[in-house]
Amino acid sequence: MSKQTFGFGMALGALAGAAAAYLFAPQSGEEFQRDLKDKAQDTKNKAVVKFDEAVLGTEMWLDQKMADNEFNDEPIRYERTPENVAPAPDYTEAPDVFVEEESITD
């Protein structure tokens, strides 16, 4: 059994035990609803805190991995070589440009 599966089973068992304890406790419906609401709010807050901690831990891990990569620190170097530079035009004179004139007729 893996640690993750064990932890999930333990959390599920604790949740089922808490639900059973609330169901069998001698309380009025109003008290039960108030307690259930409070416990649900506490559980939500704890889940939000755990999620924020997980996100922060992931961000820190990712930042460390990005800092460890050598390719991020090395600048990009471009070289002008005949293979990657376009050749100059072959003509030496200005090209002829022909414009058709419109005839104006009345």
**CA angle at 12 for the pair 6 and 13, rounded to the nearest 5°:** 90
Q: Check pLDDT > 90 for residue 48.
A: yes
Cβ atoms of 32 and 22 within 8 Å: the answer is: yes
Total domains in the chain come to 1
What is the overall mean pLDDT for the chain? 80
User: Rounded to the nearest 10 degrees, how much is the dihedral formed by the CA atoms of 81, 82, 83, 87?
Assistant: 130
Q: Is residue 56 part of a domain?
A: yes
Q: Is position 20 within any domain?
A: no
Assess if residue 11 is contained within a domain. Answer: no
Look at residue 18 and tell me if it is in a domain.
no
Least confident of 3-12, 30-39, 51-60, 89-98: 89-98
Query: Does residue 88 form part of some domain?
Result: no
4, part of any domain: no
What does the pLDDT read at residue 50?
95
Domain that includes residue 33, residue range = 27-76
If one compares 44 and 11, the residue with the highest pLDDT of the two is 44
Q: Is residue 52 part of a domain?
A: yes
10 within a domain of the structure (yes/no)? no
- 52 vs 94, higher pLDDT: 52
- Each residue of 54-106: pLDDT tens digit? 999 999 998 888 877 755 556 677 788 888 888 777 766 776 777 677 655 55
